[in-house]
Structure 1
Amino acid sequence: MFKIPRTSLVLAASLTLAGLIPARAEPIPPLQESAFWKSEVEMGDLPPVEERIPDDPVIVDLAAKGREFGHQGGTLRTMVTRSKDIRQMVVYGYSRLVGYNEKYELVPDILASYENADNRTFTLHLREGHKWSDGAPFTSADFAYWWNDVANNELLSPSGPPDFLRVEGELPQVSFPDETTVVFEWADPNPNFLQSLAQARPPFIYRPSHFLKQYHADYAEADALAAEVDDARVKSWAALHNKLDNMYKYDNHMLPTLQPWLNASSGKKIRHNFVRNPYYHRIDSNGVQLPYIDVIEMEIVAPGLVAAKANAGETDLQARGLDFRDVSILKKGEAGGNYKTYLWQTGVASQIAIFPNLNYADEGWREVLRDVRVRRALSLAIDRKTINQALYFKLGKPGAMSVLPASPFFDEKNLKAWADYDPDQANTLLDEAGLDKRDSSGTRLLPDGRPMELVVETAGERQEVENALQIVTDTWREIGVKLVMRPLDRDILRNRVFAGNTMAAVWFGWDNGIPQVYTSPAFLAPTDQVFLAWPKWGQYYQTSGDVGEAPDMPAAQRLMELAHDWDVATTDEQRAAAWKEMLGIHADQVYGIGILAGAPQPVVVSNTLRNVPEKAMWAWDPGAHFGIHRVDEFFFAQ
C-alpha cells in the first residue's frame, strides 16, 4: 500500500456538521521518547515512540490555544467517592471518535476525519497506524466486531444496537470498505449521530476485537472458553464477555483502551493507579507525546471527607465531591495546602430541581401530581432568593428550570415562569385544584382524606440540597403542604424512581444547560427513564412498549412529536423551532421545579499544576467535566 511520507501527512479536520473543510498539511515534529517507558523501549519490550503513534497523530499547538508547552512526568492525585467512579477516567480522559473542543465545536479526535452527507450517510476515516494500548492495530475490524458480534448478538445485546442508531425504527446499513473506513447509512436523517459519539459517556461503537474474541463463542475454542467461564464463576460465555467488556466502567485492567491513561490496577482498592497510554494518538507540536502526566492516582474516600482532604493539600485536581458550601474551608487551606481554588461556571440547567413523579404508583397521589396547578403552586411557594442568599451568597441565578444564557434558546420568560415567590397565588391554585380542605395542623388533605405530606427523596450526596429543602419545608408549610425529606443512596433512589415508588425526587436539572441548534432535544421528551418526572414513560419508549407506560398527557405527547420533528428536520430553523416550543412546554407544565442555576463549582488546583483554566465550564454533557479542557495537556511545573 502506498504510504504518505510522515513529513507531509494530511490531517483532514472536520469542523462543521456539514462535512469536511479543506484539509491542511502538517509535518510531524521530531519525537521525544517518554522517560516513563524508556526502559521498556531499551529492553525491546516496547517499540520506540515513532512506531507507537499513528502515522497521522493529532498535533496540538498549545501556543495557539494560549497554553504552555509542558513536559512528561509526575503523579496527579484526585478523589472519587465510590469505587465505581473510577469510570471518571474515561470521562476526564475524553478520547472520543469526535469530541467537543473548548469552543464546543465538534472536531475529529480518534478519527482522522469524517464526511457527513445530509445527516444520512456518515463516513468515518480512522488514522493509519493507530494502535490500542497493548499495541494491537485499531482498524475498521474493531467496528465490525462490535456491530456484527456484540450489538447484533442477542445473547450479548438482548435489546439490540443502542437507540441513537435507530431512525424511524430502522437501523443503519453499516459497511467497512477498508481497514480505515467505516460507513453508517440511514434512509432518513440522523442528526444526533455525531453528538452521541462526543458524549461524556460515549456509546463505544467499536471494541478491541483481538482481545474480546477470546471470550466469544463464535471465535474461541470451545473447551478453552468453557474453562474460562468456570474460572470466572459465571453462567455463560456471554456473561463472561459482558463482564470483561467494560469500556466505560474501566474496571477491567486487561481490556485495551484508546484513552490517555490505562487502568493499571485490578480488583477493588482504596487507590487506583492509571498510567500513561504508550500508544496514545496525540502529541504536542514540539514532538512530546501526550498525556504530559505519567500517572493519575484516584483515591476512593467517603463523601464527607473530600473537602477536608482537599483542604489538607491531599489532591492536585478536584471538583467532584465539592460543593459551593466548601469554598470557605477551601480558601482557608490554600496557603498550607499549596493549592488555589477556582470558581467555574456550572452547565446544568438547574443546580437543584424537584421532580414530582407523574408515574407514581399511588393512584391518589398520581392524580394530584399530574394536576399542573399543583406543580405550579409548589414552584410558586419556593423562596428562591432566600435560598440563593443563604447557600450561594447571591452568586446563583434564581429561576425555573430552563437553559442557560449561553444557549441560543435562552428566554427570560421561561426562566421566570411560575418562579416568583407568591404564596397567595400558590394557595389559590391549590384551592382550585380541589385541595381546599385542611386538617387541624393546617396541612391540606388529598381528595381521599390523607394529609398532603409530600415525600421528597434525595441522593444524600449534597448538603446544599438538604439545606435548600429545609427552607422549602418552611415555605411549603405556609401553603399547607408538608415536605418530608428522605435521603437515600443514589442507586437506591434511582431504582425506586424507576419502579414508580418515589413520590418526588431531587437532582440537578438537565445535564445540558447550554444546548445548541445541533443538540438533540430528546431529553426534553419522555424518551428516557432517567428524567425523574416520567420514568415509566421513558421505559416505554426505551423498550418499544415492552415495559412502562405510554405517555397519556397531551403536553407530553406533544413533546414526543416535537422531538421527532427535530429528528427529521432539514434546516436549522426547523430544529430551533422544535427546541423553543419544547422549552415553552416545560416552562408552562413545570415537570421539573428548578430552584436556581449558575451556582459556582469550586475546583481545587495544585499550585504546581499548569494549563488548568482559571475560568471554565463544569458540565457533564457537553463537556465531560474536566474532559473538554483536556487533562492530557495538564502538567506539573518542574
Structure 2
Amino acid sequence: MFDRLTAILIAGLMALPAFAQSVAPQGAQLVVQESAFWAAEVEKGQMDPAPMRVPQTPLVVDLEAKGRDFGKQGGTLRTMVTRSKDVRQMVVYGYARLVGYDYDYALRPDILRDIEVVDERIFTLHLRPGHRWSDGAPFTSADFEYWWNHVAQNEELSPNGPPEVMRAGGEVATMTFPDAQTVVIEFPQPNPIFLQSLAGASPPFIYRPAHYLKQFHVDFNTVEEMEEMIDRKRVRGWAPLHNKLDNMYKFDNHELPTLQPWKPASVGGQSRALFVRNPYFHRVDARGVQLPYIDVVEMGIVGSGLVAAKSNAGESDLQARGLDFRDVSILKKGEADGAPYRTFLWANGAASQIAIYPNLNFADPVWREVIRDARFRRALSMGIDRRMINRALYFGLGKEGGMTALAKSPFFDADNLSRWALYDLSTANAMLDEMGLTTRDKSGIRLLPDGRPMEFVIETAGERQEVENALAIITDTWRDLGIKLIMRPLDRDILRNRVFSGVTMASVWYGWDNGIPQSYTPPGYLAPTDQVFFAWPKWGQYYQTRGAAGEPVDMEPAKRLMELNKQWAEVEDPAARSRVWNEMLEIHSQQQYGIGILSEAPQPVVVSDRLRNVPEFGKWAWEPGAHFGIHRVDEFFFADPELAQVIE
C-alpha cells in the first residue's frame, strides 16, 4: 500500500502534466532548434547538432500550459553571492534532480524519464536514452554503478559507508543495474523519505561521471600510475584528490561534467564566476527550443553589505540572496527613481526568520546544566519583546511567536505559536528564581551556581543586520531578567565549526527550512538526526556517524522525538503520520529547543525589467523548493537577449 507521497508521484507520472511531459505535443513532431551560442562549434564540427545533443526522450516543457511565455535564447544573467564557495548556489538554482518538485510541490521525474515505486521499498529508475553529460559523454547506469561500488562503498572515500539516503532502519540498500538505462534500488524495509531526499536543495548525488573520475581512482589504475599522479598533484593520497575533484554540489571544479542547466566556465579565486549553457541539457520547450533560455550566468562575489546597494544600482538581474526585509525601502526607492528592476515580495517558507539556539551540548558543565533546564529556555523566550522587534525591523508584517509550523501547514496550532512566547518578564523572572538562580551581582546580573555572572554569549554569522538589530533589542529586555547578552559575530564557517565542536554557548540562525510540512514530509529535522540543528550538534553527530562521533541523546523529550521520527517512517497512514507531526511540534513548543522570534516576513526579490517568467508571487524556501530552483530559472529569459550584457 502506497502512502500519500507515493500516490502523488504515481499520479503525476500517469497524468504527465506540463512540467513532466516527456513526449512531443500530440500531432506534432518535435524538432530541436540549434542554439546560436553553440552554432560556431557545431559548424566547425567540434560539437554535435542540437537534435543529437538532447536525449531521445527529452523532458518537454509546455510553458503555455504552465501560464508562462515561450522565451528566446541568449543573454547574460547577473546575480551576486557573498562568498566564493557560494558558487554552489548554481546547483541549487539550476535544480536539475533525478526527481523534483513542481509548482504544487508534487514530485515529478526530471533527469529520470520514469520511476516505478513498489511499497516504498523498491525504486526502479529509468534513465533517458541518449542523455549525455555536459562534456558529451553518455549518462548511463554505469555512472550509478561507479558511485555505488567505487565511492559509496570504498572505505577510503566513504569511511562511514553508504550515506543515510541509502539506508532504511539502519540497514543498507542494494543497487543493481539491469541495463544501461535502468537502475534498481531495493531497501530492506520501506524508505518513505527516499524520493524527497533526491529532490532536495542539496541532494545526494547517487551517481558520478565515471568516465572522468576513474582516472583518479585506485581501482582503475596501476600502483605506479597512482603514485605518479599523487606526486604530480602534490596531494597526500589518491582519496583526498578524488574527494576534492568529485564534489557535485560545490560546483567548484570546472572540469567535472554536470547535468545542471549551466556548467562552470571559470577557475576559482576570481571576483566573479561564469557559467555557460550546458549544450546537452535534457529539457526542451514545446517548440523545440533547448533550455536554458539564458546563455550565461555571471555570479559576482561581493561583500555582504554591498548586495542591496549594487542591486539598487541595477547591477543584478535576479537577486534575493543577501537581501533582507530591511532592504525593501531602498530597493523600492531605487525602483521609483527609475532603476531598471522590479522588487517582488515573496512569501518566506522558513519556520522563523530569526531563531536562537541554546546549545544543549555546550562543553561548559555548569552552563550546560542551566541550558538543559527547560525553565531557563522558556524564560529566555518570554523575555523577548517580539512586538517591538516586529515593528522596528519588519514594519509589523512578521508573525510574532515561537518556532512552529506556519499557518499554511495543516499542522499549524496557535497554541504552539504563542506558548512561552508572550512577553512576560514577571513570569520569566519567577522561573529563573525557581531554578535557584537568585543571587545577583551589584549590577543586577544573576550569578551561576559557581559564582560566575550569567553572561549569555550568542554567536552569529555576522551576515544579517536584522539579526544584530534584534539581538540589540533582546539585550535590553534580558537585562531585566538579570542576564547579560553578549553578541559575538563570526564568519559563517567558523560559527558552524564552533557549534559542531560544542564550544558555542548559543547561536542564532534561521528556523527550520521547511515551515509548511505535510503528513508526507519527513520530520527528521525535528529530531536529533543532524548536527546542523544548532541546539544539539553532538546528538546529531552521533546519529549521523552511527555512534562514531558525538554524544548519545540523554534527555527524555529528545529521546521521544527520536522515537516519533522512527514511528513516522514505520507507518503509511497519513492520519498516523499527522499525529506524529503534531506531537513533535508540541514537544518543540514546550521545550523551546529553538527559540523563534517571528516568521513570514516577506523576502525581497530584485528582478530586471527585461527578465521574463519570474513569478511575482513566489515562495522563497530552501526546503522544499531550493530557493529559485522550484521556479525553474532555466525557463527565465530576457525580452531582448541581444541587448543583454556580453561577457568579455
TM-score category, normalised to shorter length: over 0.9
1:255-283 superposed Cα distances (whole Å, 9 cap, x missing partner): 00000000011131111110000000001
Correspondence for 1:616 among 615, 618, 623: 618
Kindly indicate whether residue 125 of structure 2 is the aligned counterpart of residue 124 of structure 1.
Answer: yes
Q: Which residue identity is paired with 1:589?
A: Q
* Residue 499 of structure 2: aligned partner: 497
Q: Which residue identity is paired with 1:300?
A: I
* Residue 377 of structure 2: aligned partner: 375
Contact 2:360 2:372 in 1 (8 A): yes
Correspondence for 1:385 among 387, 391, 398: 387
**For residues 149-548 of structure 1, what are the structure 2 equivalents within 5 Å?**
149-334=150-335, 335-548=337-550
Question: 1:411, CA displacement in angstroms?
Answer: 1.2
1:103-142 superposed Cα distances (whole Å, 9 cap, x missing partner): 1111110011111111111111111111100111111110
Question: TM-score if structure 1 supplies the norm length?
Answer: 0.96
Unaligned runs of 5+ in 1: 1-13
Contact 1:261 1:276 in 2 (8 A): yes
* Residue 553 of structure 1: aligned partner: 555
Contact 1:271 1:299 in 2 (8 A): yes
Contact 1:19 1:114 in 2 (8 A): no
1:140-195 superposed Cα distances (whole Å, 9 cap, x missing partner): 11001000000000011111111122212210111111111111111211000000
Q: Which residue identity is paired with 1:106?
A: L
Q: Structure 2: how far apart are the matches of 1:226 and 1:377?
A: 60
Question: TM-score if structure 2 supplies the norm length?
Answer: 0.95
Q: Which residue identity is paired with 1:577?
A: R
* Residue 569 of structure 1: aligned partner: 571
Q: Percent identity?
A: 67
Contact 2:23 2:57 in 1 (8 A): no
Question: 1:26, CA displacement in angstroms?
Answer: 3.2
Question: 1:517, CA displacement in angstroms?
Answer: 1.6
SS of the residue corresponding to residue 321 of structure 2 reads coil
* Residue 26 of structure 1: aligned partner: 23
Contact 1:312 1:336 in 2 (8 A): no
Correspondence for 1:16 among 5, 8, 22: 8
Question: 1:19, CA displacement in angstroms?
Answer: 7.2
* Residue 105 of structure 2: aligned partner: 104
SS of the residue corresponding to residue 141 of structure 1 reads helix
Contact 1:460 1:489 in 2 (8 A): yes
* Residue 9 of structure 1: aligned partner: none
Q: Structure 1: how far apart are the matches of 2:504 and 2:144?
A: 40
1:272-328 superposed Cα distances (whole Å, 9 cap, x missing partner): 110000000001111100000000001100111111111111110011111111111
SS of the residue corresponding to residue 391 of structure 2 reads helix
Aligned positions, number:
625
* Residue 72 of structure 1: aligned partner: 73
Q: Structure 2: how far apart are the matches of 1:250 and 1:408?
A: 37
* Residue 11 of structure 1: aligned partner: none
Contact 1:15 1:107 in 2 (8 A): no
Q: Structure 2: how far apart are the matches of 1:70 and 1:331?
A: 27
Q: Structure 2: how far apart are the matches of 1:36 and 1:117?
A: 43
Superposed CA RMSD in Å reads: 1.3
Between stretches 250-259 and 216-225, larger displacement belongs to: 216-225
**For residues 596-611 of structure 1, what are the structure 2 equivalents within 5 Å?**
596-611=598-613
Aligned in 2, Cα 1:578/1:399: closer, same or farther, shift over 3 Å?
A: same
SS of the residue corresponding to residue 515 of structure 1 reads coil
Contact 2:31 2:51 in 1 (8 A): no
Aligned in 2, Cα 1:117/1:522: closer, same or farther, shift over 3 Å?
A: same
Contact 1:93 1:632 in 2 (8 A): yes
Q: Structure 1: how far apart are the matches of 2:445 and 2:262?
A: 56
Q: Which residue identity is paired with 2:14?
A: P
Q: Which residue identity is paired with 1:547?
A: A
* Residue 5 of structure 1: aligned partner: none
Q: Which residue identity is paired with 2:138?
A: P
1:340-389 superposed Cα distances (whole Å, 9 cap, x missing partner): 11111111100000000011111110010111011101101100011000
Q: Which residue identity is paired with 2:365?
A: E
Q: Structure 2: how far apart are the matches of 1:441 and 1:174?
A: 65
Contact 1:325 1:391 in 2 (8 A): yes
Q: Structure 2: how far apart are the matches of 1:415 and 1:443?
A: 29
Contact 1:20 1:113 in 2 (8 A): no
Question: 1:587, CA displacement in angstroms?
Answer: 0.4
Contact 1:15 1:105 in 2 (8 A): no
Unaligned runs of 5+ in 2: 1-5, 17-21, 641-648
